[in-house]
Amino acid sequence: MKKLNDGEYFGSHKQKTQYNDFIITDTEYTHKKVDWHYHENSYFTYLLEGKLYEENKKESQYLSPGSLLFHNWQDAHYNIKPPEYTRGFHIELNKKWFDKYDISPIHFEGSINLQSPLIKEIMNKIFFETKINDPDSQLSMDMLLLDIFNKINQLENTKQSKNPTWVKKLTEILKKEPELCSSLPNISKILDIHPVHLSREFPKYFHTTLGDYIRKVKVNTAILLMTDKNLSMTQIGYASGFYDQSHFIASFKRMYNCTPSKFKKQISNVNFIQF
């Protein structure tokens, strides 16, 4: 079985940057199939464009744009790529990084599919930070990565507790049909629970308010659409579920402290590097 060393992935890199104790790559996947392999270090994969099929020793999954995985070191898997342009963003963390912040990667076994929009928001901030890449980027990314692992722990603790039935049902609705959550009375009726109870209990299981959760889902969707150069910002806003451009811009600035146009320009400002 092939072992991939620091920063090594099957594909061509748009960007590859070494920071203290971690490497970040922005990669176009070029192989139709990648046989069983494992990586020397733990790493995140954030699929920006295209699709992938991945299988490890425990499960298989089809990945679409926005899929975010954490692979522990030596997690063996293989991939199949459909005949379309596919691009992934990776953050590879070596053992020194985990030791520095007293985090044990053993607690994060195998491959974890991270679906929380709160975690994806942080990943988008790291992605944006790599395109700025100034003297303060290292500090910013270290703090953002620590926040990701803190939120993973929060979500794992929530999963281990016995959740009410409505939590699972609402999770599926937010994932597949967020438009149903147009109002508190509407979603309360669907879940058959009182609006006051839902409002009070939602942050306990989702770690934010219902409105903020939905807003993050929409903005995260917009960022993935920004990789399509053929779409205007107006088209991106509507496709993400915002009812007008001003609402889209205001929500985006609240989360990322910049306009959608600036964000899109910054993440597109990379040179293609062949490795």
Whether 146 and 15 map to the same domain: the answer is: yes
Please tell me whether residue 272 adopts helix, strand or coil conformation.
Answer: coil
Kindly state whether residue 275 falls inside one of the protein's structural domains. no
Are both 40 and 92 inside the same structural domain? yes
Same domain, 20 and 135: yes
The strand pairing partners of 78, in sequence order, are: 55
The CATH number linked to 95 is 2.60.120.10
Residue 126: predicted pLDDT: 95
Identify whether residues 149 and 174 lie together within a single domain: no
Outline where 161-244 has alpha helix (H): 165-176, 184-191, 195-206, 210-225, 233-239
- Evaluated on CA atoms 113, 108, 6, 77, the torsion sign reads negative
- State whether 28 and 120 are in the same domain: yes
Structural domain including 258 reads 161-268
Q: Report yes or no: 240 and 271 within 8 Å, Cβ to Cβ.
A: no
Which one of 143, 159, 175 terminates a domain? 159
pTM (2 decimals)?
0.89
* Per-residue confidence (pLDDT) for residue 107, from 0 to 100: 61
Considering the domain architecture, whether residues 174 and 230 belong to the same structural domain is answered as yes
pLDDT digits (tens, 9 = 90+) for 152-175: 888 777 766 678 899 989 988 988
Q: What is the tally of structural domains in the chain?
A: 2
In a shared domain, residues 188 and 235 = yes
Which residue in the block uniquely carries the two structure tokens 């409002």? 199
Domain end marker among 139, 159, 179: 159
What per-residue confidence (pLDDT) applies to 142? 96
* Beta bridge partners of residue 93, listed in sequence order: 22, 42
Q: How far is CA 9 from CA 6, 27, 37, 43, in A?
A: 9, 8, 10, 11
Residue spans of the chain under pLDDT 70: 105-110, 159-161, 269-275
Closest among 90, 144, 102 to 256, alpha carbons compared: 144
Within-domain flag for 83? yes
Do 149 and 168 sit in the same domain of this protein?
no
Q: Give domain status of residue 274, yes or no.
A: no
Q: Are residues 95 and 64 in the same domain?
A: yes
Q: What share of the chain is helix, strand, coil (3-state, %, to 5)?
A: 45, 25, 30
Looking at the structure, tell me whether residues 119 and 137 fall in a common domain.
yes
Position 109 scores a pLDDT of 65
Cα-based torsion angle of the residue sequence 101, 46, 14, 259 in order, rounded to the nearest 10 degrees: -90
pLDDT computed for residue 8 by the predictor: 83
Q: Based on the fold, state whether residues 152 and 17 are members of the same structural domain.
A: yes
